């Protein structure tokens, strides 16, 4: 397998040489420079998030090498936390980046098959909504299957079945409103944005020379990248971290430890355990109140008065995030229903979930 590094279009200031004789620097140095660049525009709660960003960007330049490639889920509970800016900085430095706010299912898999882009899918809160219908189902299939080499979707075109390869680097950007499926989450490394001190204002055109150099350095480094076997500590997330860990091994100079720290810092909470705690608290409510129903807003308020369970941000989050895996006695998802102008939960709808998932 051969890969070709293309020289940057401009003379690059500093120690990188000129157009005719660019000088390759150690990969560790390039990663450090990307971290420094990212810090100028983005505030993260954890230093390791900047390391994660640099490793993921670098990995996009060697997609033919990897067997798996974890999606990034750049998310925040509300607007104004910098998630779009983070995606824009990463897109500037990633290989063949393509930013889109919405896409059809066929448009997505045809784009991947034809162009092998690094995709940045913005406004995920609507893209993955349960209201997105059949087209949203296709988008989900492409995202869920395409993290693994060899994944295809087959469509009838004319009189023949055409297979479209859908393996690609993908970053999903949006407000976390509970619409992302468990399967999609399992393919993702979460980057949780938080409100904080604003950095420099990011304008892509002001950084074209730096971006050209980083693109060349990363493409050049990609020529020597190989898959490295992950240590046991990565557990069930090994597949989605394989490419990033391999970049860290190639970089050396402390980057392996930095990658391991990032992996420890960027995982999903134990949603099964947390959901069970919320479900148990709901059982406590009905036992204490002896009521047969409760308004959804009152239930959320009661849950959030308890300090021993996870915080439930809203009635919508209770339904889409915390209760989505549980069923009523007749097999339906547990949902609030409208009664006398209010959305309420009925005790009878929880009985099967109480018996099945909670200790006596």
Report the CATH number that the domain containing residue 182 is assigned in CATH: 3.40.50.300
Do residues 261 and 282 both lie within one domain?
A: no
Do residues 207 and 248 both lie within one domain?
A: yes
Kindly state whether residue 90 falls inside one of the protein's structural domains. Answer: yes
Is 33 strand, coil or helix?
Answer: helix
Kindly state whether residue 18 falls inside one of the protein's structural domains. Answer: no
- Cα separation of 70 and 189, whole Å? 7
Do residues 138 and 283 both lie within one domain?
A: no
Do residues 110 and 151 both lie within one domain?
A: yes
Kindly state whether residue 123 falls inside one of the protein's structural domains. Answer: yes
Kindly state whether residue 14 falls inside one of the protein's structural domains. Answer: no
Kindly state whether residue 44 falls inside one of the protein's structural domains. Answer: yes
Do residues 133 and 192 both lie within one domain?
A: yes
* Residue ranges making up the domain that contains 33: 27-265
pLDDT at 131: 45
- Cα separation of 120 and 321, whole Å? 24
Number of domains in the chain: 2
Do residues 178 and 119 both lie within one domain?
A: yes
Give the residue-averaged pLDDT of 113-127.
83
pLDDT above 90 covers what percent of the chain? 54
Do residues 246 and 126 both lie within one domain?
A: yes
Do residues 146 and 45 both lie within one domain?
A: yes
Give the residue-averaged pLDDT of 93-114.
84
CB 237 within 8 A of CB 263: yes
Kindly state whether residue 4 falls inside one of the protein's structural domains. Answer: no
Q: List Cβ neighbours of 70 (8 Å cut-off, separation of 6 or more).
A: 56, 147, 187, 188, 189, 237, 239, 240, 241, 243, 244
- Whether residue 136 is predicted with pLDDT greater than 70 in this model: the reply is no
Kindly state whether residue 6 falls inside one of the protein's structural domains. Answer: no
Most confident among 49-53, 180-184, 265-269 (mean pLDDT): 49-53
Kindly state whether residue 16 falls inside one of the protein's structural domains. Answer: no
pLDDT at 142: 86
């Amino acid at each position: 397998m051969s890969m070709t590094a293309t020289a940057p279009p401009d003379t690059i200031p500093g120690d990188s040489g000129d157009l005719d004789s660019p000088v390759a620097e150690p990969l560790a140095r390039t990663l450090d420079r990307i971290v420094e660049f990212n810090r100028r525009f983005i505030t993260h709660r954890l230093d390791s998030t900047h390391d994660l960003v640099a490793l993921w960007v670098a990995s996009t330049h060697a997609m033919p090498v990897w067997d798996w490639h974890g999606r990034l889920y750049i998310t925040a509970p509300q607007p104004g936390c910098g998630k779009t800016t983070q995606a824009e900085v990463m897109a500037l430095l990633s290989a063949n980046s393509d930013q889109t706010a919405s896409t059809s299912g066929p448009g997505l898999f045809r784009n991947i098959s034809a162009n092998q882009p690094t995709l940045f899918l913005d406004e995920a809160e609507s893209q993955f909504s349960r209201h997105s219908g059949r087209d949203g189902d296709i988008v989900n299939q492409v995202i869920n299957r395409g993290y693994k080499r060899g994944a295809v979707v087959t469509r009838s075109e004319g009189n023949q079945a055409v297979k479209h390869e859908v393996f690609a680097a993908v970053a999903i950007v949006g407000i976390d409103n509970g619409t992302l499926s468990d399967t999609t989450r399992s393919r993702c490394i979460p980057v949780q944005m938080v409100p904080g001190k604003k950095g420099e204002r990011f304008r892509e055109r002001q950084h074209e020379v730096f971006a050209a150099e980083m693109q060349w350095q990363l493409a050049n480094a990609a020529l020597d990248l190989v898959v490295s076997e992950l240590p046991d500590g990565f557990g069930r997330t090994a597949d989605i971290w394989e490419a990033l860990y391999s970049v860290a091994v190639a970089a050396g100079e402390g980057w392996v430890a930095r990658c391991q720290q990032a992996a420890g810092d960027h995982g999903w909470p134990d949603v099964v355990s947390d959901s069970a705690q919320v479900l148990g608290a709901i059982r406590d409510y009905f036992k204490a109140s002896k009521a047969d129903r409760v308004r959804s807003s009152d239930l959320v308020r009661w849950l959030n008065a308890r300090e021993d369970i996870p915080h439930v941000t809203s009635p919508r989050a209770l339904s889409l995030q915390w209760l989505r895996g549980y069923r009523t006695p007749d097999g339906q998802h547990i949902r609030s229903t409208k009664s006398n102008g209010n959305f309420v939960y009925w005790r009878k709808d929880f009985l099967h979930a109480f018996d099945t998932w909670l200790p006596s």
